Structure 1
Amino acid sequence: MRQLQCFVVLAEELSFTRAAQRLNMSQPPLSTQIQTLERELDAELINRTSRKVALTPVGEVFRRRARNMLDQYERSLLEIREIKRGQEGVVEISATGSILRGGLSELLASFAAAHPAITLRVHEQPPAAQINEVLSRRIDVSFNRSVPRLAELVYEYAWQEEMMALLRSDHPLSARASVSITDLRDDQHVVLRPESSDFATYVMSCIVASGYQPSVSQQVIDAQSIPSLVAAGFGVSIVPSSIARLTAGPLIFLPIRPNPPISQVYIVYRQDPVPSLQLFLAYIRRKLGHGPKGVRNP
């Protein structure tokens, strides 16, 4: 690389004196570098006279090649620095408890084992708060069931899961293999607060589309709060299937048939992710079986 650099500068200056000054070296070492390069190429690159320096025809062709090689080398150095920067640092992550249960915690543990120099900090937050935190750069990435409608943010599809009916084990429908949403029309409902997220609005719209306006006993922000209220007798609910994981108590989770509502999870981040986040996103995409640029829709 040093020989190439010396040759390119000399080809630009066509003067050993000016080239040596640019390279911060004396003329004899510069002349040695050029001669060594010519021996390795077995070709004369420079015509030397007492008055001037000129490129030979071979030197003119090689000048363009040498410039390209130096440019590629510089780009490679920049890429290596970016990769090294991305292999250390902190990634701030926000999610709801139900998404952590839905497989995110296992993905984070896998990444942490593969990249121990990167610290993952997980924050449980309501969906709308997550988006605000990403916008303000206090959070790097949000795993969210709602899609943001903001130009500053990018979102990718991560995964999806069916919604299920959640009942107490002593409910009259608990012995069924499955239920429809209409089967729950006479029950009190524990629901996500409709204004808390687009996902909450979607769940409510699925209930209304089945033909009835639910009688709501309790409203919550995080789906993870619902099981305890159902177990306490406040009614039934429709929740992501991941809620069934690690949930104890006198509860039954039943598939909804036909046409179960679907909960989709998205990865939300800013347009200009830092190197450590780029590495994190690339890893998550590979684990989810997505392409290098992610998946916009399922």
Structure 2
Amino acid sequence: MDVELRQLRVFLTVASELHFSRAAKRLHVSQPALSQQIRALEKTLGAALFDRSSRATELTPAGRVLLDAAPRVLFEAERAQTLVTQASNGAVGLLVVGSVGTALASITPRILRSMRASFPDLQLEVSQQDTAAQLVAIADGRLDVGLVRAAPPTATVAVEHLVSEPLLAALPGDHPLAGRDEIEPEALADEPFVLWPRPLGTAFFDIITSYCREHGFSPDIVAEGADIETQLGLVAAGLGVSLQPAYYANLRPPGVVFRPLSGDVPMVALQVAWRRTDRSPAVAHFVDAARALGT
């Protein structure tokens, strides 16, 4: 059976008028042309749809069945067309997003709000992951796009800068240096440090250790935390000090104070990352939103 949507629309017009001449005027076609389309539809369906035996045009039992079914068919067809168009434009479907905690504390929520406002039917699945895990997941196709920190681009993953903020000293609230307005990096030389494990973010780890070495010492790392909450909890417990991007000062964890460092301080970049071969419109929309909010 090969019923055209145009034929169903013609049928519904005739069924609403129960008069071929008036229906033809509504459709801006000649009455013979309209009658021909109805006959073609009846031939396709193998059933008469209208009883033309009397002065008044009436629906046959088959016509009444089609009158009930045709609007649903047209609705689903139009809905399918809309969904296909939206999918081709990246407006529907699922976008799997990764984000470092640094970005979740700053730019990620704003990007997500922008995406939700522009593409309300696009489902966003967001998880917190460190930079190293995101780069692997993007390359493997398990993530569509990521918000990473201090990551170099690779042959598979493109990385674009969004925003940068300086390192700050994170200190226990009762630390002797906590009362200073600014911390000289050399004042941290003999302090125990709490840092990220290097495998979770090699570039970021190297920024911190290089900065310390530039000021005459290597950090004495006594504890590591796989997430920022753990690290700041260890700082609050007095296990050591830490160097963290300024974004984390927004978290305001109890028992931890953030203080600026004196002199030239490394800037820590937040970036958006995606698979170079990915041509998904939804990924392109996310990257555009990230760019707009990162400037």
TM bracket (short chain):
0.5 to 0.7
Do the aligned partners of residues 275 and 138 (structure 1) sit closer, same or farther apart at CA in structure 2, a change above 3 Å counting?
same
Q: Is the 8 A contact 1:134 1:140 kept in 2?
A: yes
The secondary structure found in structure 2 opposite 1:266 is strand
Choose the corresponding residue for 1:162, options 156, 159, 166: 166
RMSD: 1.9
Report the identity percentage: 26
- The aligned residue for residue 268 of structure 1 is 273
- The aligned residue for residue 72 of structure 2 is none
Choose the corresponding residue for 2:263, options 252, 258, 269: 258
Runs of 4+ in structure 1 off by over 2 angstroms are: 80-85, 146-150, 220-225, 286-289
Distance 2:198 2:185 in 1: 18
Distance 1:114 1:222 in 2: 31
1:124 maps to a residue whose letter is Q
Q: Aligned runs of 1:275-286 on 2, under 5 Å? A: 275-286=281-292
TM-score in terms of structure 2 length: 0.67
The secondary structure found in structure 1 opposite 2:120 is coil
- The aligned residue for residue 96 of structure 2 is 92
Per-residue CA deviation, residues 94-124 of structure 1 (Å, 9 max, x unaligned), is: 1122221022122212321222011111111
Deviation at 1:81, TM superposition (A): 4.9
The secondary structure found in structure 1 opposite 2:176 is coil
Deviation at 1:84, TM superposition (A): 4.5
- The aligned residue for residue 204 of structure 2 is 199
Distance 1:205 1:115 in 2: 42
Per-residue CA deviation, residues 267-289 of structure 1 (Å, 9 max, x unaligned), is: 11111331111122222222333
Q: Is the 8 A contact 1:165 1:237 kept in 2?
A: yes
Q: Is the 8 A contact 1:223 1:239 kept in 2?
A: no
Distance 1:268 1:280 in 2: 10
Do the aligned partners of residues 256 and 114 (structure 1) sit closer, same or farther apart at CA in structure 2, a change above 3 Å counting?
same
What are structure 1's unaligned runs of at least 5 residues? Answer: 1-79, 290-298
User: Which is further off, 242-251 or 130-139?
Assistant: 242-251
The secondary structure found in structure 1 opposite 2:106 is helix
The secondary structure found in structure 2 opposite 1:258 is coil
Q: Is the 8 A contact 1:94 1:124 kept in 2?
A: yes
Distance 1:148 1:118 in 2: 29
1:146 maps to a residue whose letter is A
Distance 2:288 2:218 in 1: 43
